[in-house]
């Protein structure tokens, strides 16, 4: 009887939170910031070298005057809009605005060369928005399950989950595993600069009072994404070197998506499932969706030559990946991409703690975010189809204009945070570091996660030891804390597996 009452009360709480979230999502100015974020995302996504991580990093410190809900919805809308915006440059000039749009170039650009640029852009708009719309509904439906999972985690589990998240990033992202671990560990080390979390002792400040508050993770995000990308973009003169001819039919492009419902739905499922895996991101999901469609449609396909299914698949996977990536980010504070790392930074900056908070007292904010993604995809359709005739103009911007604007906004944003010039210096130093990390194939995402998750991991580590009376067995106690034990084993398997695999293979081969 008591269990039934508890379940019923939780259901009432969820319904009440959903209604409150719905009212919040459609209220002013929240819905206005959603539209602004989507428009910014589309423009930033269409500019190669910019994309959602850079745009979100620049905007992040400027959200300080906003309330928490408006700020998070603005950032998430930039992320969602950029997923579609990246397809514009990918289709028109074969230069994807975002990494996730790289798969779209394989058939999108050939379609544009074949005189079907408007068709390809309409396909991208419709497939991206339609599946994003459906994925947002799925998010709302599975949220009661997430609540139960999140509430099962305590301090030991959150510490181990942070370590597991860094471990996953080092394995999934490109490059050497050792380089990934080094990048994550370096980020953790930088997060320890400043006054200790559980003691007032300054650490690694070298007597500089400006470092007592540590290196701002927002400044780190701006430097690693915005400033570093501008250094890379400085090698180009123009976004596009030649004019793009806009021909084809928008109406035919929209109808093409509905001619292939199986392709569209399958891409959405792939995008959402892969998005839920920390470290995968939209680049992985779009290429997996494209590869699966090319495999299943090999009999009648002409992939690489302008097959419309080659645009539907990656574009149908990108926006569901946004919804999927919110699951580990909001539930456990483990982002799987640069964009979700910035979004996590926004949550922390506005006092929103991933985990029980966002699925407990602040559940209405979580629902408001999900509903905004749902509504935002309607805006993507309306705006996306309207700007198609003029889309080529955005690719003609001069980098001499883009770079100074982004750099100036980066420095202003960093200083605005705490009126601390050390934050500006951090943007410059970490921007240069980020540029060379990318050049030498070190994981920038692992580094950023180390900085963002470092304080969370440290606080939960010491809190766990306080709970256990200083005993480390709390992290691998299969009887009393089976979840901690499972997370420890998973982390060890991920970190040691690649090194032990050749040895195991040799042993099995000899056997």
| CA–CA gap between residue 314 and residue 297 (Å, rounded) | 15
Residue recorded with tokens 């009440």: 16
- pLDDT-derived band at 140 (thresholds 50, 70, 90) equals confident
Write the DSSP string, 214-270.
Answer: ---HHHHHIIIIIIHHHHHHTT-SBS-SS-----S-HHHHHHHHHH-HHHHHHHHHH
Most confident of 130-134, 242-246, 403-407: 130-134
pLDDT at 173 > cutoff 60: no
Q: DSSP for 437-493? A: HHHTT--HHHHHHHHHHHHHHHHHHHHHHHHHTS-GGGGS-TTT-HHHHHHHHHHHH
Listed residue (225, 217, 219, 184) closest to 452, CA to CA: 217
Strands (E), 135-223: 194-195, 202-203
- Which tokens belong to 442? 């070190």
Q: How confident is the model at residue 168 (pLDDT cuts 50, 70, 90)?
A: low
pLDDT at 321: 86
Top-confidence residue, 394 or 125: 125
pLDDT band at 13 (very low <50, low <70, confident <90, very high): low
How many C-beta neighbours within 10 Å does residue 336 have? 30
CB under 8 A, 24+ apart: contacts of 503-509: none
6 pLDDT band, cuts 50/70/90, is very low
Task: Determine which of 37-41, 418-422, 504-508 has the lowest per-residue pLDDT on average.
Answer: 504-508
β-strands 194-195, 202-203 pairing: antiparallel
DSSP secondary-structure letter at 302? -
Averaged pLDDT, 458-469: 85
- Asked if the model's pLDDT at residue 3 lies above 50, the reply is no
**Neighbour tally for 401: CB within 10 Å:** 9
Q: Which residues contact 60 (CB under 8 A, 6 or more apart)?
A: 75, 218, 221, 222, 342, 345, 346, 349, 413
Q: Which pLDDT belongs to residue 2?
A: 46
Looking up tokens 């955005």 gives 394
Cβ-proximal residues to 436 (8 Å cutoff; 6+ apart), any chain: none
With contact defined as beta carbons under 8 Å apart, do 140 and 367 qualify? yes
Cβ proximity of 183 and 447 under 8 Å: yes
Q: Looking at the DSSP assignment, which residues form a beta bridge with residue 238?
A: 398
Q: Could you report the per-residue pLDDT of 37-79, keeping only the tens digit for each?
A: 988 888 887 776 677 777 888 888 888 889 988 999 999 889 8
Q: What's the pLDDT at 79?
A: 85
With beta carbons less than 8 A apart as the criterion, state whether 332 and 164 touch. no
Query: In terms of pLDDT, which residue wins out, 395 or 507?
Result: 507
Detail the DSSP E strand segments found in 21-84. none
Q: What mean pLDDT value characterizes the chain?
A: 80
pTM of the predicted protein model: 0.73
- pLDDT tens for 269-301 read 988 888 887 656 677 788 788 888 888 887 777
Average pLDDT over residues 244-256: 80
């Amino acid at each position: 009887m008591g269990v039934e009452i508890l379940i019923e009360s939780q259901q009432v709480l969820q319904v009440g939170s959903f209604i409150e979230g719905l009212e919040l999502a459609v209220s002013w100015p929240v819905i206005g910031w959603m539209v602004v974020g989507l428009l910014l995302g589309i423009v930033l996504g269409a500019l190669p070298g910019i994309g959602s991580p850079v745009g979100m990093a620049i905007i992040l410190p400027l959200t300080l005057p906003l309330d928490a809900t408006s700020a998070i919805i603005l950032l998430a809308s930039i992320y969602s809009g950029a997923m579609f915006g990246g397809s514009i440059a990918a289709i028109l000039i074969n230069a994807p605005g975002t990494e996730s749009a790289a798969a779209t170039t394989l058939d999108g650009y050939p379609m544009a060369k074949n005189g079907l640029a408007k068709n390809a852009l309409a396909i991208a708009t419709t497939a991206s928005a339609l599946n994003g719309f459906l994925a947002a509904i799925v998010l709302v439906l599975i949220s009661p399950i997430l609540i139960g999972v999140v509430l099962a985690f305590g301090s030991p589990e959150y510490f181990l989950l942070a370590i597991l998240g860094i471990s996953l990033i080092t394995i999934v992202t490109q490059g050497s595993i050792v380089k990934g671990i080094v990048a994550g560990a370096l980020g953790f080390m930088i997060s320890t600069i400043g006054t200790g979390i559980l003691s007032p002792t300054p650490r690694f400040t070298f007597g500089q009072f400006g470092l007592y508050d540590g290196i701002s993770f927002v400044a780190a995000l701006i430097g690693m994404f915005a400033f570093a990308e501008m250094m890379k973009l400085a090698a180009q003169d123009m976004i596009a070197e030649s004019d793009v001819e806009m021909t084809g039919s928008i109406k035919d492009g929209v109808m093409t998506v509905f001619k292939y419902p199986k392709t569209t739905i399958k891409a959405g499922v792939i995008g959402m499932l892969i998005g839920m895996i920390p470290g995968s991101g939209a680049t992985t999901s779009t290429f997996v969706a494209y590869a699966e469609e090319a495999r299943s449609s090999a009999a009648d396909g002409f992939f690489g030559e302008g097959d419309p299914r080659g645009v539907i698949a990656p574009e149908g996977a990108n926006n569901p990946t946004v919804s999927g990536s919110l699951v580990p980010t909001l539930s456990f504070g483990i982002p799987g991409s640069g964009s979700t790392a910035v979004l996590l930074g926004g949550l922390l900056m506005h006092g929103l703690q991933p985990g029980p908070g966002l699925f407990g007292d602040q559940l209405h904010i979580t629902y408001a975010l999900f509903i905004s993604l749902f509504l935002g995809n309607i805006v993507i359709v309306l705006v996306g189809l309207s700007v198609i005739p003029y889309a080529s103009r955005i690719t003609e911007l001069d980098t001499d204009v883009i770079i100074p604007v982004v750099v100036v906004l980066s420095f202003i944003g960093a200083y605005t945070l705490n009126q601390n010039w050390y934050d500006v210096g951090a943007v410059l130093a970490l921007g240069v570091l980020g540029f060379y990390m990318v050049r030498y194939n070190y994981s920038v995402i692992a580094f950023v996660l180390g900085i963002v998750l470092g304080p969370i991991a440290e606080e939960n580590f010491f809190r766990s030891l306080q709970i256990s009376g200083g005993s480390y067995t709390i992290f691998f106690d299969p009887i009393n804390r089976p979840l901690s034990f499972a997370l420890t084993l998973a982390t060890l398997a991920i970190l040691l597996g690649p090194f032990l695999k050749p040895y195991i293979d040799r042993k099995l081969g000899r056997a």
